[in-house]
Amino acid sequence: MTSRTTSIFAAAGLALSLTAGAALAENPMVGGAPMYANKNIVENAVNSKDHETLVAAVKAAGLVETLQGKGPFTVFAPTDEAFEMLPDGTVETLLKPENKDQLTKILTCHVVAADAMSGAIKKMVADDGGMHPVKTVGGCEFTAMTKDGKIMIKDGQGNVATVTIADVEQSNGVIHVIDHVLLPAS
């Protein structure tokens, strides 16, 4: 092997190393915690200080094992601030054991059985003329749209959530952080 060939292979190896490192570094921090692409949705979410209410709700609904499963899942993850925007007492009421079915319905309406990165969602919205129907695991149908480059989801009650942090890769899918809780149609 010539020194030129060795240099080319070395440069290619360095480029691959830098690309792999950049890919790992690109997964955003959420709630002050690093999100690791080799961990599942639950393993990452429990570390986010912005998703304590969501984690408590997932536990109360008995969905931990499901969201640790193979997937793929796309989770639109409302922040604690999003839950605080609900009417007073709503979260506390939903977390009661007797309301587990209603809580499960709301939470599973935040989950899509696919690995949908933001680029794919934006393409679907564009291909559908600005609005794309989103069918969730919970049986809800929401509408994805974009505005000023941001993905927005309109829920069954006409409320709109904006994706504030997109493409948080997980070993079993992707999380998109949203600023409102998505609710099924009444």
Residue pLDDT, tens place only, 59-100: 999 999 999 889 999 999 999 999 999 999 999 999 999 999
* 164 inside domain: yes
Which residues are paired to 111 by β-bridges? 75
- Name the residue with higher pLDDT: 94 or 15: 94
* Model pLDDT, residue 88: 93
Quick check: is 122 in a domain? yes
Backbone angles phi, psi at 87, to 5 degrees: -55, 145
Q: Radius of gyration over alpha carbons of the chain, in Å? A: 19
pLDDT at position 28 is 84
Q: What percent of the chain has pLDDT over 90?
A: 70
Q: With a cut of 50, say whether residue 154 has pLDDT above it.
A: yes
Q: Is residue 20 part of a domain?
A: no
Residue 55 in this model has a pLDDT that exceeds 70: yes
Number of domains in the chain: 1
Inform me whether the pLDDT recorded for 20 exceeds 80.
Answer: no
Look at residue 112 and tell me if it is in a domain.
yes
Query: Residue 12's pLDDT band (boundaries 50, 70, 90)?
Result: very low
Instruction: Kindly report the CATH number assigned to the domain that includes residue 36.
Output: 2.30.180.10
pTM for the complete prediction? Answer: 0.84
For residue 8, being part of any structural domain is answered with: no
| Domain extent at residue 136 | 28-178
Residue 132 lies in a domain: yes
Q: Is the pLDDT of residue 168 over 60?
A: yes
d(C-alpha 107, C-alpha 126), whole Å: 27
| Inside any domain, residue 115 | yes
pLDDT top residue among 26 and 73? 73
Please give the full DSSP string across 55-107, using - where no structure is assigned: HHHHHHTT-HHHHTSS--EEEEEE-HHHHHTSPTTHHHHHTSGGGHHHHHHHH
pLDDT of residue 26: 77
Residue 8 has a pLDDT of 37
Give dist(CA 154, CA 145) in Å, integer. Answer: 8
**What is residue 27's predicted lDDT score, i.e. its pLDDT?**
82
Task: Report strand pairing: 141-147 vs 150-154.
Answer: antiparallel
- Kindly state whether residue 7 falls inside one of the protein's structural domains: no
Q: What is each CA distance from 149 to 110, 146, 152, 166, 186, in whole angstroms?
A: 21, 6, 10, 11, 30
